[in-house]
Amino acid sequence: MEAARSDEVIRAGELEIRPDDALVLAAGRPLNLSVREYGVLLALARRAPRIVSREELSSVVWDHPLRTGDRSVDVYVHKVRFKLERVLPEARFIHTHVGFGYRFAAEPSHGFHTDATTR
Amino acid sequence: MEAARSDEVIRAGELEIRPDDALVLAAGRPLNLSVREYGVLLALARRAPRIVSREELSSVVWDHPLRTGDRSVDVYVHKVRFKLERVLPEARFIHTHVGFGYRFAAEPSHGFHTDATTR
DNA sequence: CCAGGCTTTCACATCCATTTCACGGGTGGG
DNA sequence: CCCACCCGTGAAATGGATGTGAAAGCCTGG
Protein backbone atom coordinates (compact mmCIF):
# COMPACT_ATOMS: atom_id res chain seq x y z
CA MET A 1 0.00 0.00 0.00
CA GLU A 2 0.96 3.56 0.54
CA ALA A 3 1.95 5.66 3.49
CA ALA A 4 0.71 4.62 6.88
CA ARG A 5 -2.13 6.70 8.21
CA SER A 6 -3.09 7.42 11.74
CA ASP A 7 -6.72 6.57 11.08
CA GLU A 8 -7.84 9.47 13.23
CA VAL A 9 -11.53 10.09 12.82
CA ILE A 10 -13.64 12.63 14.65
CA ARG A 11 -17.38 12.08 14.71
CA ALA A 12 -20.10 14.38 15.97
CA GLY A 13 -23.66 13.71 14.97
CA GLU A 14 -23.76 13.42 11.22
CA LEU A 15 -20.39 15.01 10.89
CA GLU A 16 -17.20 13.13 10.31
CA ILE A 17 -13.72 14.56 10.06
CA ARG A 18 -10.77 12.64 8.68
CA PRO A 19 -7.63 14.66 9.31
CA ASP A 20 -5.45 12.26 7.35
CA ASP A 21 -7.42 12.89 4.20
CA ALA A 22 -8.23 16.54 4.85
CA LEU A 23 -11.74 15.30 4.32
CA VAL A 24 -14.97 16.28 6.02
CA LEU A 25 -18.10 14.22 5.53
CA ALA A 26 -21.58 15.47 6.27
CA ALA A 27 -24.04 12.61 6.34
CA GLY A 28 -21.58 10.71 4.24
CA ARG A 29 -21.09 13.40 1.63
CA PRO A 30 -17.83 15.22 1.22
CA LEU A 31 -17.88 18.85 2.20
CA ASN A 32 -15.87 21.41 0.33
CA LEU A 33 -14.03 23.54 2.82
CA SER A 34 -11.27 26.02 2.23
CA VAL A 35 -7.97 25.67 4.03
CA ARG A 36 -8.90 28.15 6.72
CA GLU A 37 -12.41 26.82 7.16
CA TYR A 38 -11.04 23.36 7.55
CA GLY A 39 -8.43 24.58 9.99
CA VAL A 40 -10.97 26.26 12.21
CA LEU A 41 -13.30 23.28 12.22
CA LEU A 42 -10.54 20.80 12.95
CA ALA A 43 -9.01 22.90 15.69
CA LEU A 44 -12.35 23.26 17.44
CA ALA A 45 -13.30 19.62 16.99
CA ARG A 46 -10.01 18.35 18.31
CA ARG A 47 -10.35 20.46 21.44
CA ALA A 48 -13.96 19.60 22.17
CA PRO A 49 -15.57 19.96 24.57
CA ARG A 50 -13.23 22.76 25.60
CA ILE A 51 -13.93 26.39 24.87
CA VAL A 52 -11.29 27.65 22.49
CA SER A 53 -10.39 31.31 22.59
CA ARG A 54 -9.95 33.41 19.46
CA GLU A 55 -6.35 33.89 20.45
CA GLU A 56 -5.77 30.17 20.43
CA LEU A 57 -7.60 29.70 17.16
CA SER A 58 -5.55 32.41 15.58
CA SER A 59 -2.23 30.98 16.65
CA VAL A 60 -3.22 27.45 15.69
CA VAL A 61 -4.92 28.09 12.37
CA TRP A 62 -3.29 31.32 11.25
CA ASP A 63 0.01 30.61 12.89
CA HIS A 64 0.33 34.05 14.40
CA PRO A 65 -1.14 35.79 17.45
CA LEU A 66 -4.44 37.58 17.12
CA ARG A 67 -3.94 41.22 16.22
CA THR A 68 -6.23 43.80 17.77
CA GLY A 69 -9.10 44.53 15.48
CA ASP A 70 -8.59 41.36 13.48
CA ARG A 71 -11.95 39.74 12.85
CA SER A 72 -10.84 36.91 10.64
CA VAL A 73 -11.55 34.26 13.25
CA ASP A 74 -15.14 35.45 13.61
CA VAL A 75 -15.54 35.59 9.86
CA TYR A 76 -14.35 32.05 9.40
CA VAL A 77 -16.43 30.69 12.22
CA HIS A 78 -19.34 32.23 10.43
CA LYS A 79 -18.37 30.63 7.12
CA VAL A 80 -18.00 27.20 8.65
CA ARG A 81 -21.32 27.54 10.45
CA PHE A 82 -22.94 28.55 7.19
CA LYS A 83 -21.66 25.56 5.26
CA LEU A 84 -22.49 23.14 8.03
CA GLU A 85 -25.98 24.49 8.49
CA ARG A 86 -26.60 24.13 4.79
CA VAL A 87 -25.90 20.44 4.83
CA LEU A 88 -26.89 19.56 8.38
CA PRO A 89 -29.65 21.97 9.42
CA GLU A 90 -30.76 19.79 12.28
CA ALA A 91 -27.67 20.33 14.35
CA ARG A 92 -25.43 23.10 15.56
CA PHE A 93 -21.77 22.46 15.92
CA ILE A 94 -20.05 25.68 16.87
CA HIS A 95 -21.27 27.45 19.97
CA THR A 96 -20.36 30.93 21.08
CA HIS A 97 -19.27 31.65 24.61
CA VAL A 98 -19.28 35.40 24.82
CA GLY A 99 -16.07 36.72 26.22
CA PHE A 100 -14.39 33.33 26.07
CA GLY A 101 -14.45 31.86 22.60
CA TYR A 102 -16.04 29.00 20.73
CA ARG A 103 -16.88 25.42 21.60
CA PHE A 104 -17.47 22.46 19.31
CA ALA A 105 -20.29 20.02 19.97
CA ALA A 106 -23.12 18.47 18.00
CA GLU A 107 -26.34 19.71 19.52
CA PRO A 108 -29.88 19.87 18.19
CA SER A 109 -30.72 23.13 16.41
CA HIS A 110 -33.80 23.77 18.47
CA GLY A 111 -32.99 24.98 21.94
CA PHE A 112 -35.34 27.94 22.37
CA HIS A 113 -35.47 29.02 26.02
CA THR A 114 -32.59 30.81 27.68
CA ASP A 115 -30.24 28.31 26.25
CA ALA A 116 -28.02 27.36 29.14
CA THR A 117 -25.76 25.32 26.93
CA THR A 118 -24.25 28.18 25.04
CA ARG A 119 -23.91 30.79 27.67
CA MET B 1 4.60 0.66 -7.83
CA GLU B 2 1.01 -0.35 -8.22
CA ALA B 3 1.06 -4.09 -7.82
CA ALA B 4 -2.39 -5.58 -8.04
CA ARG B 5 -4.46 -8.68 -7.75
CA SER B 6 -5.33 -10.02 -11.12
CA ASP B 7 -8.99 -9.26 -10.68
CA GLU B 8 -8.98 -5.72 -9.36
CA VAL B 9 -11.75 -3.63 -10.83
CA ILE B 10 -12.71 -0.11 -9.88
CA ARG B 11 -16.19 1.04 -10.74
CA ALA B 12 -17.68 4.49 -10.42
CA GLY B 13 -20.87 5.31 -12.23
CA GLU B 14 -20.41 4.34 -15.86
CA LEU B 15 -16.69 4.19 -15.46
CA GLU B 16 -14.72 1.02 -14.99
CA ILE B 17 -10.99 0.67 -14.48
CA ARG B 18 -9.11 -2.58 -14.82
CA PRO B 19 -5.58 -2.00 -13.59
CA ASP B 20 -4.44 -5.45 -14.61
CA ASP B 21 -5.13 -4.68 -18.23
CA ALA B 22 -4.38 -0.98 -18.04
CA LEU B 23 -7.87 -0.68 -19.39
CA VAL B 24 -10.51 1.94 -18.81
CA LEU B 25 -14.08 1.40 -19.90
CA ALA B 26 -16.61 4.17 -20.22
CA ALA B 27 -20.10 2.80 -20.54
CA GLY B 28 -18.51 -0.38 -21.75
CA ARG B 29 -16.35 1.24 -24.40
CA PRO B 30 -12.61 1.35 -24.03
CA LEU B 31 -11.12 4.77 -23.43
CA ASN B 32 -7.85 5.75 -24.98
CA LEU B 33 -5.62 7.30 -22.35
CA SER B 34 -1.95 8.10 -22.45
CA VAL B 35 0.37 6.77 -19.80
CA ARG B 36 0.23 9.92 -17.69
CA GLU B 37 -3.50 10.33 -18.07
CA TYR B 38 -4.05 6.78 -17.01
CA GLY B 39 -1.67 7.18 -14.11
CA VAL B 40 -3.50 10.21 -12.79
CA LEU B 41 -6.89 8.59 -13.12
CA LEU B 42 -5.82 5.36 -11.49
CA ALA B 43 -4.02 7.07 -8.64
CA LEU B 44 -7.05 9.17 -7.86
CA ALA B 45 -9.51 6.31 -8.24
CA ARG B 46 -7.54 3.99 -5.99
CA ARG B 47 -7.40 6.59 -3.26
CA ALA B 48 -11.05 7.56 -3.38
CA PRO B 49 -12.73 9.06 -1.48
CA ARG B 50 -9.58 10.69 -0.18
CA ILE B 51 -8.37 14.06 -1.33
CA VAL B 52 -5.06 13.53 -3.07
CA SER B 53 -2.58 16.38 -3.05
CA ARG B 54 -0.65 17.45 -6.13
CA GLU B 55 2.51 16.49 -4.31
CA GLU B 56 1.28 12.94 -3.85
CA LEU B 57 0.10 12.70 -7.43
CA SER B 58 3.43 13.91 -8.65
CA SER B 59 5.43 11.42 -6.65
CA VAL B 60 3.13 8.55 -7.53
CA VAL B 61 2.56 9.22 -11.22
CA TRP B 62 5.71 11.14 -12.15
CA ASP B 63 7.90 9.40 -9.64
CA HIS B 64 9.47 12.60 -8.39
CA PRO B 65 8.45 15.34 -5.97
CA LEU B 66 6.49 18.29 -7.29
CA ARG B 67 8.74 21.17 -8.28
CA THR B 68 7.58 24.69 -7.57
CA GLY B 69 5.89 26.11 -10.59
CA ASP B 70 5.30 22.72 -12.16
CA ARG B 71 1.77 22.63 -13.51
CA SER B 72 1.87 19.23 -15.15
CA VAL B 73 -0.48 17.70 -12.61
CA ASP B 74 -3.09 20.34 -13.30
CA VAL B 75 -2.66 19.94 -17.02
CA TYR B 76 -3.17 16.21 -16.87
CA VAL B 77 -6.14 16.44 -14.59
CA HIS B 78 -7.58 18.72 -17.21
CA LYS B 79 -6.84 16.24 -19.98
CA VAL B 80 -8.43 13.37 -18.12
CA ARG B 81 -11.47 15.45 -17.29
CA PHE B 82 -11.77 16.40 -20.93
CA LYS B 83 -11.69 12.84 -22.16
CA LEU B 84 -14.06 11.63 -19.51
CA GLU B 85 -16.53 14.41 -20.10
CA ARG B 86 -16.51 13.69 -23.78
CA VAL B 87 -17.67 10.14 -23.21
CA LEU B 88 -19.63 10.51 -19.99
CA PRO B 89 -21.09 14.01 -19.90
CA GLU B 90 -23.59 13.14 -17.22
CA ALA B 91 -21.07 12.64 -14.49
CA ARG B 92 -18.08 14.34 -13.00
CA PHE B 93 -15.29 12.25 -11.65
CA ILE B 94 -12.47 14.51 -10.57
CA HIS B 95 -13.29 17.18 -8.03
CA THR B 96 -11.09 20.06 -7.00
CA HIS B 97 -10.54 20.93 -3.38
CA VAL B 98 -8.79 24.25 -3.54
CA GLY B 99 -5.70 24.27 -1.43
CA PHE B 100 -5.80 20.52 -0.86
CA GLY B 101 -5.85 18.63 -4.12
CA TYR B 102 -8.18 16.43 -6.15
CA ARG B 103 -10.75 13.83 -5.20
CA PHE B 104 -12.21 11.05 -7.29
CA ALA B 105 -15.92 10.26 -7.14
CA ALA B 106 -18.73 9.78 -9.62
CA GLU B 107 -21.18 12.59 -9.10
CA PRO B 108 -23.90 13.97 -11.33
CA SER B 109 -22.74 16.82 -13.54
CA HIS B 110 -25.78 18.89 -13.01
CA GLY B 111 -24.90 20.86 -9.96
CA PHE B 112 -27.72 21.21 -7.54
CA HIS B 113 -28.09 24.90 -6.87
CA THR B 114 -25.71 27.50 -5.67
CA ASP B 115 -24.39 24.73 -3.56
CA ALA B 116 -20.78 25.45 -2.98
CA THR B 117 -20.33 22.52 -0.70
CA THR B 118 -19.14 20.11 -3.32
CA ARG B 119 -17.70 21.31 -6.52
C1' DC C 1 15.27 10.68 -41.09
C1' DC C 2 10.32 11.53 -40.62
C1' DA C 3 5.76 11.69 -38.68
C1' DG C 4 2.73 11.61 -35.07
C1' DG C 5 1.64 11.11 -30.51
C1' DC C 6 2.98 12.18 -25.85
C1' DT C 7 4.81 15.30 -22.50
C1' DT C 8 6.39 19.57 -20.68
C1' DT C 9 6.28 24.35 -20.40
C1' DC C 10 4.32 28.84 -20.89
C1' DA C 11 1.03 32.68 -20.95
C1' DC C 12 -3.16 34.20 -19.95
C1' DA C 13 -7.99 33.81 -18.17
C1' DT C 14 -10.85 32.75 -14.53
C1' DC C 15 -12.27 31.40 -10.24
C1' DC C 16 -11.88 31.23 -5.48
C1' DA C 17 -9.98 32.18 -0.80
C1' DT C 18 -8.60 35.42 2.30
C1' DT C 19 -8.43 39.75 4.26
C1' DT C 20 -10.42 43.86 5.45
C1' DC C 21 -14.04 47.15 6.16
C1' DA C 22 -18.51 48.76 7.63
C1' DC C 23 -22.65 48.52 9.87
C1' DG C 24 -25.88 46.82 13.38
C1' DG C 25 -27.58 44.13 17.06
C1' DG C 26 -26.76 42.45 21.65
C1' DT C 27 -25.16 42.74 26.37
C1' DG C 28 -23.81 44.33 30.75
C1' DG C 29 -22.14 48.03 33.86
C1' DG C 30 -22.89 52.24 35.80
C1' DC D 1 -30.65 55.37 29.50
C1' DC D 2 -26.01 55.75 27.91
C1' DC D 3 -21.90 53.76 26.77
C1' DA D 4 -18.22 50.44 25.87
C1' DC D 5 -17.35 46.23 24.16
C1' DC D 6 -18.27 41.88 21.82
C1' DC D 7 -20.03 39.39 18.18
C1' DG D 8 -22.74 38.45 13.61
C1' DT D 9 -22.82 39.36 8.98
C1' DG D 10 -22.66 41.14 4.21
C1' DA D 11 -19.64 42.83 0.92
C1' DA D 12 -15.55 45.16 -1.30
C1' DA D 13 -10.73 44.64 -2.20
C1' DT D 14 -6.81 41.90 -2.81
C1' DG D 15 -3.89 38.10 -3.80
C1' DG D 16 -3.28 33.38 -4.82
C1' DA D 17 -4.75 28.99 -6.90
C1' DT D 18 -6.58 26.57 -10.69
C1' DG D 19 -8.36 26.10 -15.65
C1' DT D 20 -7.08 26.19 -20.28
C1' DG D 21 -5.21 26.71 -25.08
C1' DA D 22 -1.17 26.45 -27.47
C1' DA D 23 3.82 26.35 -28.40
C1' DA D 24 7.94 23.75 -27.80
C1' DG D 25 10.49 19.68 -26.66
C1' DC D 26 10.81 14.43 -26.72
C1' DC D 27 10.49 9.96 -28.03
C1' DT D 28 9.44 6.01 -30.71
C1' DG D 29 7.89 3.23 -34.58
C1' DG D 30 8.41 2.92 -39.27
Surface-to-core class of residue A1, CB atoms within 10 Å of its CB (0-12 exposed, 13-18 middle, 19+ buried): exposed
Measured CA to C1', the nucleotide nearest A33 is: C17
Q: Is residue B109's pLDDT more than 90?
A: no
What average pLDDT does this structure show over B16-31? 94
Of the CA atoms within 13 Å of residue A70, those in its CB half-sphere come to: 14
Q: Is residue B118's pLDDT more than 50?
A: no
Q: What is the pTM of this model?
A: 0.88
B98, B101, B118 member nearest A30 (Cβ) = B118
Interface of B with A (CB under 8 A): 47, 49-51, 95, 97-101, 103, 105, 115-119
In this prediction, residue B80 carries a pLDDT of 98
Number of Cβ within a 10 Å radius of residue A97 = 13
What average pLDDT does this structure show over A90-99? 95
Condensed to tens digits (0 to 9), the pLDDT of residues B39-96 reads 999 999 999 999 999 999 999 999 999 999 999 999 999 999 999 999 999 999 999 9
- What average pLDDT does the structure give for chain B? 90
Q: For residue B7, name the pLDDT band (cuts at 50, 70, 90).
A: confident
In this prediction, residue A109 carries a pLDDT of 80
Residue to mutate among B46, B47, B50, with most A CBs inside 10 A, is B50
Q: For residue B102, name the pLDDT band (cuts at 50, 70, 90).
A: very high
Q: What gap in Å lies between CA A108 and CA B81, rounded to an integer?
A: 40
Number of Cβ within a 10 Å radius of residue A102 = 25
- Give the residue among A90, A45, A94, A51 at the shortest CA–CA distance from A74: A94
Q: Is residue A24's pLDDT more than 70?
A: yes
Mapping DSSP to helix (H, G, I), strand (E, B) and coil, where does residue B14 land?
coil
Q: Do B115 and A26 touch (CB under 8 A)?
A: no
Q: Is residue B113's pLDDT more than 50?
A: no
In this prediction, residue A6 carries a pLDDT of 80
Condensed to tens digits (0 to 9), the pLDDT of residues A37-94 reads 999 999 999 999 999 999 999 999 999 999 988 999 999 999 999 999 999 999 999 9
β-pair type (A23-26, A15-18): antiparallel
Q: For residue A5, name the pLDDT band (cuts at 50, 70, 90).
A: low
Q: Is residue B27's pLDDT more than 50?
A: yes
Nearest CA in chain B to A3: B56
Q: Is residue A119's pLDDT more than 50?
A: no
- Give the residue among A77, A67, A43 at the shortest CA–CA distance from A57: A43
In this prediction, residue B47 carries a pLDDT of 97
